[in-house]
Every structure is written in structure tokens, then in C-alpha cells.
Amino acid sequence: MTKSLRMRHRATWLGSCMLLGIAASQAHAMEAASPPSLIPLPSSYHATGGKEFVLGRAAQVGGNDEAARRAAAQFVWLLAQNGGPTLAVAENAGKAQIRFRLDPSALNTAEGYRLKVSNTGIEVSAGDDVGLFYGAVTAAQLLTGDNPGRVAAADIDDTPRFRWRGLMLDSARHFQSMDEIRKLLDAMAQHKLNTFHWHLTDDQGWRMEIKRYPKLTEVGSCRVPLGDAGRDPATGKARSYCGYYTQEQIREIVAYAAQRHIQVIPEIDVPGHATAAIVAYPELGATDKPLVIDNQWGVFPNLFNTEESTLRFLENVLLEVIDMFPARYVHVGGDEAVKDQWIASARVQAHMREVGAKDEMEMQSHIIKRLETFLEQHDRRLIGWDEILEGGLPPEATVMSWRGTEGGLKAASEGHDVVMTPVTHMYMDYLQTGSPDEPPGRPTTIELKKAYEFEPVPAELAADKRQHILGLQANMFTEHTRNDRNLEHNLFPRLAAVAETGWSPQEKRDFGGFLQRLPRQLQRYRAMGIRYAQTPFQVDMHDKGDRAAGTATVTLDNPLGYAVHYTLDGSEATAASPRYTQPLQVGLPTQVRAAAFFEGKPLAAANRFAITADSLLVRDDTRLDLCPGDGKLLLRLEDDGPADGDRAIFNVNIFSPCWLWQDADLTGVSAVKVRAGRIPYNFQLAHDEPSRKFVPARTAHGELEILADCKGTPLVSLPLPAAPGADGFIELEAPLPATAAHADLCIRFTGDTRPDLWTLDWIKLETAR
């Protein structure tokens, strides 16, 4: 945007604010008793009842010393990022309407600040730079909140509940640009999050330059994806996926984060999740089997060996890590280390006897204690996933509890510091709604409400141990998150819920109030260019039809419970359209348009649903359920191509490729048509692999089968071809024998087709015309 455009934007924004007039001012005063749209909610907000502050055209920002002037400049940046005007920093702080003051007596709490709004301006005071910065965040939100440019008179005393408020980003599975990392750090700052846990090494890639071991990035930062993405479409040759951060770039990110009062915690995974490092330096491994870095996901068996030379390698890596990252903590992983290779290795078993480890978990503990001692000698503290508890843990080690809160409870009870980040509530790669528009990920849903209502301090933890709960962290693993658009979809707005849990007093948190404040935060996201998830704010539709009667029952819902308005005549849905309150009885055909609204404004684009006699006969994979049975690992997977751009998405139970159409209306149905695709089976499941259930194939390449009520002799059994068509799909059609008028249909593929996997795209029931 050019300078002249910025000036015009500022004048327009301020002019619109001033047009609100006296009547609006009176209305705002009536609303002032409740906290404005701030996220996270401050610990104390008190409306003073005085005249509101109105931001004038020539408003200036200032500070009483160097630290305060620095905070003033940061406020100017924060306000512009949030969609407000670009203000000027005054040379004379006495003339400023928005003032920052460094005052050790203002609020004697870590990261805390005091903010006062009167008709003459906004004053922020704090005992240190961090408090001033968070006061600046709140001031910027106040001026871009319910009534932009107008702030009700109030006093705010604010301090965070927890000192660790984090986000973990996995850059190993998929690599993010420097610009995207900076964008996420900006968003973290706007949410008062203060810890960026950077997952830089894993089986699928080593993303951090280590000068002493250049092959870690020369070899370990590249892989050839499976399927179409791993082939150049023009030449058919292998196409690599590569990327790593130089030490200079890492220092740049660390400095950028520090300016926003965010510590950067690096993670070097030990002893598992080590394939990329072992491929680069095979002598580090515990197997003689040749390894490659590929695009498979899951739990790999490859571990670092236990040799003294390998431990020295890890210590040498840590020396360079310590030099790049000034934060006190270094994360060493410790999770999902399947010990099969150690069990099978005579060298590892001999080493275990030498050090007195009675089993492989104690051997892992021996390595963790060695690294913990090394880090302590270099003024660092070790942190790891909760598996590091299993073989005994050094007293100074900190535990990150991911498999639930039980590990954190145990660790805190034993006197260890803990960060709570359970997979049940804090994993952002899990889908956030049941919408068919969700991107790839784990369809086990972690809705916004579930993330918001997570309580990091277990009720059963003894009172004298509760100080060991440092805080909480959202984890963003990226196996299924290939691009920045999907990354931002997964993180926002759930990261706002995590931020409020980490900052606000437990007794003041209220999900209903959070939903009232959230729409203003969405406006700020749009100003920042954050592509937040639309699915929580859209309307989902479920229909059940009676084709013989020519009618259908339509259910509409918004995942967050915002008001839904709809039309049935093809016109756009507005706040004046009928409000949805109960299932709709409609004739066929009908076009439904629906949107969710807050204060008369749509929260997302309206969804359109065409309901016809034909549409009732078709279900794609996103509208089907899982077949009954024990083997279930449902994933929402991308196709393997194209290498760039959008890809098809499938819901697949990789433990048992079977889909369920519940209560299918088979009246008059004489045939069935199925479209199926085939994608690489790219999963390492370690000890879970035997849980896969294959129906034995009767022909060379397996069959497509359809069963009534998922039992008995298949109604349809068609042999599958050796390969799909050129577009990666096949269409199969067969007569459907007469059966009951309604039945649960199970659609499955037989046989073990690995390294590929058949997946259903859609199924259509056909009637005689």
C-alpha cells in the first residue's frame, strides 16, 4: 500500500468513528459495564463511568523514557496490524493522548501492566518492558474493538495466570518460509503468547544448519515424496522436497521473536524420530539396514544408537544449538522411541550391561540424564515429552505432557516443572469441526469449545505442587498440513482460546462470553492477513429424504451455536431472513442458502445446498461414517498429487478401508455406481501395524464389496484393476440385488494393497428410469 493510500485509509477510518455522534456515545456508556472485546480477557476490568476516549485525527503516542518510547512505537505497529490507523510517536510525551510509562510501582507482577482510559487518553504503566508491551497489545485491541476509535472509561489491572503460554510448530514434516514464521510470531504477540517451541528435526527432515555436520542439511533436509508429488510431471524424474534454516536465519527469527517478548525453544529429537539424521550419518543408527528419508508419516523404528561417539555427536549439535538459541530451555524429544532396534542390537545390549540399565527404557533415561547434565553445564535446562518419565528423570528436567494430563500430574507430584499440552485438547492438527470443508488432518475433532475449556492444573494435584504447572501449549504437527493456508486454518481461531486459557483467571473464563468477543478478533485477523478457519462460522446441512413422497427433512447448524438464518427460494440469506430453530420440511427440489450471523452481520459466506431426488441418492466420503469394528484410525488425507496446488481429499480408515452409509433408502434402486481413487499408503505404525484388518482378496487385485448391514454375503463384489485410470480414479458399476427398503450399506475394499490404498470418492444409487 502506498503512503497516500495509507493516509486516505487513516482519514476514512477516523472520520467514520467521529460520525457516530452523541447518541452512539450514550449507547457505548451503557455497554461499558462489561469488558470490551479483548482476547485474552484481562484479569481485572473496571468501568469507571467517565466520558469515553475518542481517538482524534491528530492523536499522538509517547513514552516517558527509552523503554516507554519503545513500547509506544510497538503500539503504533500493533494498532496498524489490527486494522487501525497509523499514528505518530510524539517527541514530547506530554502532548501524547496514548502514553506509556515505565513505573516499577505500577503493578508488581511478572508481565503485568496497568491501563487507564479517560476522556483525555489512554495511559499504560508497567514495571518492565514486557508489561508495557502487553499493555500496548490491549490498547490496540481497545481501539479496534466494538466501536473503533472510541473506548469507554475504565481501569485495567492485568497479569497472566501462567508464565508458559506456548505454540509448537513442526517445521520438519512440512517446511515454512521465513515470512510465514514471522507472521505466526506476530500473531502470537497479538495473543500474548510468549513461547515458540520450534520442532526442527524429525524422521522426515532435519531443518537446522549445524556447521560441524553439514550432511544433516545437505542430505537430511530433502526427501522424495511418494506418488505423483515425487515425480516431475514433465520429465518423470524424481522431484525432491527440501528446505532448512541457516544459522543466520535462525538468529534472525530468535531476534524477531525477542522483540515481541517471545522465547524460542528448539527441539532436537532423541533417541527416536531420528531417520533424517541417520540417513545423513549412517554410523549414528542402530541398524545396518539402508534407510531413506521419505514422505511417510507415523512412528518409525529408527533410533540413534547408544555409542559414546553418538552421544558426543549429540553434544556437539547441542553446542551449536545453545549458541543460536539464548532461551533457558532446550527440548530433546524423547517420545515414541520404539525400542525394537535396540532389542535386536548386540552392541546396544552390551552397552546396556556396561551402564547398568536393566531395560531399554532405562537406557533411554541414561541418555536423557547425560544430555541433561551437559545442558546444565552450559546454563540450560532440559525439557522433553512425557515419555522421559518412564526410565527415571533428573530432578531439574521439565516434562511436556502430551499423552494426556496424567504424565504432567505424575511429574508435578514428583517435583518436576510441567507444561500441559495434551493430545486431547491442544493438538491443532486435529480437525475443528465435522464440516466436509475441513482441510486434511485427523478427523477426531478438537472443537473451539474443547480447546477453550481445557484446564491445565489437574484438580487432584496437591496444592503445594501446583506451582510446578508452568502453563500450557498448543502443538501444530504438520504431517497433513502442506501449505500456509491450511496451517493458519488449523491454528486460528483456536489459538485465541489457548491464549485466553493461558492468560485469564480461571474463574473469569466463560465460553459464551468468549464467543461474544470473538467476531471482533476475526476482524483483526482479516486486517493481519490471517486466513483463519471459516468452517466454525459456516452452516452445515444434513438431509434425510423421502423420494417417494418428494420431501426431505433438512437440519441446519452452526458449530459454535451462532444464529442461523436461511432462505428456500434461492435468494441470499440475510439477518432479515427466517431464523432457523427446528428441522425444515421441504419439497423436492429445494435450494437452501444459510449463514451464521452475529449482531446482524454474517460471520462467513453463506453456504448453498441443492436438495433434489438425485442428490438424495449420492454420498461422498465426507458424508459417510465408519463401518463397525475394532480397527479404526480415521484420517482425512490428501491425494498424492499434483505436486503443487489443490488436491483431492478423502476420509479414510487406514486400519480398515470401509465406509458406512447409514439407513440408505433403497426403494426402487436397481444398481450402484462407485468412484474410487488410489493413494500411497504412507504410514509407519510400529507396534500398531497388526491392528490393520484386511478382508482377504479372492482375485488378483482385490475387490470392491458392498454389504447390507455390514454382514453376510456381499450384495456387490467387483474385481479391482491393477491400477486406476490416468487421472488416478476408477468408476465401477454393478446391479444391486433387491433387498430391504432401507439398509446400512458398508462399502469396502478387500486385500492388502500396500504400498497403495484404495479410497472411496463417492457412491451413487441408481434407479430404473
Q: Indicate which residues carry an active-site annotation.
A: 202, 273, 336
Residue pair 631/693 in contact (Cβ under 8 Å)? The answer is yes
Residue with cell 523514557: 65
Neighbouring-strand partners of residue 626: 659
CA dihedral 397, 401, 405, 406 (to 10 degrees): -60
* Cβ count near 399 (within 10 Å): 27
* Angle CA 97–127–88, to nearest 5: 25
Q: How far apart (Å, rounded) are the C-alpha atoms in residues 224 and 231?
A: 8
Q: Which helix (H) or strand (E) holds 78?
A: helix 66-81
* Phi, psi of 264, rounded to the nearest 5 degrees: -110, 120
Q: Which helix (H) or strand (E) holds 269?
A: strand 263-270
Q: At residue 266, what is the residue type?
A: P
CA dihedral 68, 71, 72, 78 (to 10 degrees): -170
In 3-state terms the chain splits into helix, strand, coil percentages (rounded to 5) of 30, 30, 40
Q: How far apart (Å, rounded) are the C-alpha atoms in residues 143 and 17?
A: 10
User: If you write DSSP's letter for every residue of 299-360 in order, what string do you get?
Assistant: -----B---HHHHHHHHHHHHHHHHH--SSEEEEE--S---HHHHH-HHHHHHHHHHT-SSH
> Per the structure block, which three cell numbers stand in for 660?
458406512
Q: How far apart (Å, rounded) are the C-alpha atoms in residues 99 and 93?
A: 7
CA dihedral 305, 309, 315, 318 (to 10 degrees): -70
Q: Which residues of 299-337 are buried (b: 16+ CB within 10 A; e: fewer)?
A: bbbbbbbbeeebbebbeebbebbbebbebebbbbbbbbb
* Helix/strand/coil (H/E/C) assignment for every residue in 362-405: HHHHHHHHHHHHHHHHCCCEEEEEHHHHCCCCCCCCEEEECCCC
CA dihedral 88, 92, 97, 101 (to 10 degrees): 110
Q: Which helix (H) or strand (E) holds 557?
A: strand 551-557
Residue pair 491/474 in contact (Cβ under 8 Å)? The answer is yes
Q: Which residues of 132-162 are buried (b: 16+ CB within 10 A; e: fewer)?
A: bbbbbbbbbbbbbbbbbbbbbbbebbbbbbb
Residue with cell 510470531: 185
Pairing, β 195-199 against β 540-546:
unpaired
Q: How far apart (Å, rounded) are the C-alpha atoms in residues 239 and 218?
A: 16
- Burial-class residue 5 by CB neighbours within 10 Å (0-12, 13-18, 19+): exposed
* Angle CA 410–416–417, to nearest 5: 110
Residues composing the chain: 769
Helix (H, G, I), strand (E, B) or coil at 113: strand
